[in-house]
Amino acid sequence: MSPLADAASPLADDTIGPAAVFELAEPISIAIFHDPSSRDELIERLAALASPTATKLVRSGEEALACARDEALVLVDPSNPAATVTFFDRNRDHFTLGPARFVLLLMRGGSGERALQDATSLSSFARDASFEVGRSPSIAELEKTFEATHGKSFTDWLAEWRSGALPDTLENNHILSEALSLEEGRP
């Protein structure tokens, strides 16, 4: 269990979590991700949500602190996660002096998340605004979900659609979109 959460108070997901950063203007948030591709998508998404406020991407606590007086969302993708967590923990109050808001990006099970165990000042302060980007389902899981939801495999559904047997409705165009994403995701 992450030091940011417990059974009674699980970590927010990435729908509610970013809202705390932007709507409540919490100064420090920690975002836990499961794989590098979800980190990259999160960086793009947070920059879009922050707009028109500028976004800065930095790699260390020191670089982040240098942005504290900027009107910016500072995304911290640390090159040394454990050292960055320790730096934020020791200098927590300095990060709250200016208008900048900070999101520290840490990989689930990585050295940064482990370092949070000893960074009680940081983890207790950032807890309410922190969140987790769920693990992306595998293609096989998505295919199973499609079949359970629509009663046939996406390949069968696509074949039926392409034969012209299915009506051109709003819902069928959404299902088509799902099926095309699955088709594109196949190796």
Collapsing DSSP to helix, strand or coil, 146 comes out as helix
Q: Using the rule CB under 8 A, which residue among 19, 57, 83, 107 binds other proteins? A: 19
Q: Which is nearer to other proteins, 62 or 141 (CB)?
A: 141
Q: Using the rule CB under 8 A, which residue among 8, 15, 36, 140 binds other proteins? A: 15
Beta pairing partners, 12: 131
C-alpha–C-alpha distance, residues 1 and 5, integer Å: 7
Beta pairing partners, 132: 13, 32
Kindly give the residue spans of alpha helices, DSSP state H, lying in 51-80: 61-65
Q: Which is nearer to other proteins, 14 or 77 (CB)?
A: 14
Q: Which is nearer to other proteins, 45 or 94 (CB)?
A: 45
Interacting residues of 170 by C-beta distance below 8 A, sequence separation 6+: none
Closest-CA residue to 136 (of 25, 19, 40): 40
If one asks whether residue 173 binds other proteins (CB under 8 A), the answer comes out as yes
- What residues between 31 and 60 interact with other proteins by CB under 8 A? 41, 44-45, 47-49, 51
Beta pairing partners, 106: 32
The beta-strand segments (E) located in the chain are: 12-13, 28-33, 54-58, 72-76, 101-107, 131-132
Q: Using the rule CB under 8 A, which residue among 136, 147, 153, 155 binds other proteins? A: 136
Q: Using the rule CB under 8 A, which residue among 14, 77, 89, 143 binds other proteins? A: 14
Q: Which segment (3-11, 75-83, 84-92, 163-171) binds other proteins by CB under 8 A?
A: 163-171
Q: Which segment (12-20, 24-32, 68-76, 104-112) binds other proteins by CB under 8 A?
A: 12-20
Q: How far is the CB of 118 from other proteins (least distance, A)?
A: 32
